[in-house]
Copies of this chain bind each other. A is one copy, B any other.
Amino acid sequence: MNTVYSIINGKFILKDESAILISDLAIQRGYGIFDYFRTIKNEPVFLEEHLNRFYFSAAEMFMDPGYTQSELKDLIKLLIEKNDIPDSGIRITLTGGYAADGYTLSRPNLLITQSAFSFNHNNFNKGIKLSTFQHQRQLPHVKTIDYLMAIHLQKLIKEKGADDVLYYHFNEITECPRANIFFINSKDEVITPSKNILKGITRKKILNFPGLKCLEDIVPFSEINNFKEAFICSTTKNVLPVLEIDGTVVGNGKPGAITRSIYEQLLSVKEK
């Protein structure tokens, strides 16, 4: 196995020794943002979009990454070369930094880590089951490190025999903790929640696919059983059919035709 490195504040560090001081505001106060993209055959996928969002998240949280977007891209390319993990996920994290008083934003720490990741095509046919939970993520438009509720709900999800949780708030469906959701109605319209969500890169790609009647709109929770297909999408999951929500079968309980066509269209622009 190769030796794997991370980059902390511009320096290469052995991954197994990559650490930050516990005075960092991520550990003290859960304050940080990140982004995550894949490499396929050592080529970053949708890198520009992920970096754009990373810098947007940093600005929204009043943090300066300390590198220009172009410098950061160079650092990422160096890491890809050095590690040589062709199929991987790369995570860039920016934390609130070392705060003397444990509360005031300081110079952020920039962490870049890489792990092997291969996409599993078999997951598509298996699909997933979702369990709903009423919760609104704070600052949902920013990719923060806040997954407190998501991790806390892992036990409940298991108990319910589900694979993941779907958040809603009052009568609006929003998103899964790490994925966006799309629904397909009887008119073959492909609808995804328009607000109070993190706008995923895969979501954006799908919205721009030609030949689809895609729309961003409010999706009422009360209509959750009225769709013929549903799927979630993310950087790691690509497109995964939702076959059951809260124990109720979606459509005929099998991956639908429109979901499959979107999945294949995504693979054609992404997985070579």
Contact = CB atoms under 8 A, between A and B. Distances in A.
7 contacts: A18-B21, A18-B22, A19-B20, A27-B93, A30-B146, A62-B152, A135-B138
A105 B30 contact: no
A29 B139 contact: no
Contact of A150 (B19, B29, B155): B29
Interface string A75-111: 0000000000000000101011000001111000001
Max chain B Cβ within 10 angstroms of own Cβ: one of A21, A154, A155: A21
A115 B101 CA distance: 9
A31 B147 CA distance: 7
A145 B149 CA distance: 12
Interface in A10-26: 16-26
Number of copies of chain A assembled together? 2
B22 A93 contact: yes
B95 A27 contact: yes
A24 B113 CA distance: 13
Given A19-B20, A151-B105, A144 B27 contact: no
B22 A22 contact: no
A206 to B, nearest CB: 24
A8 B22 CA distance: 10
A144 B150 CA distance: 14
A214 interface: no
B111 A29 contact: no
Contacts of A26: 26-27, 30
B154 A105 contact: yes
A202 interface: no
A22 B111 contact: yes
A19 B91 CA distance: 20
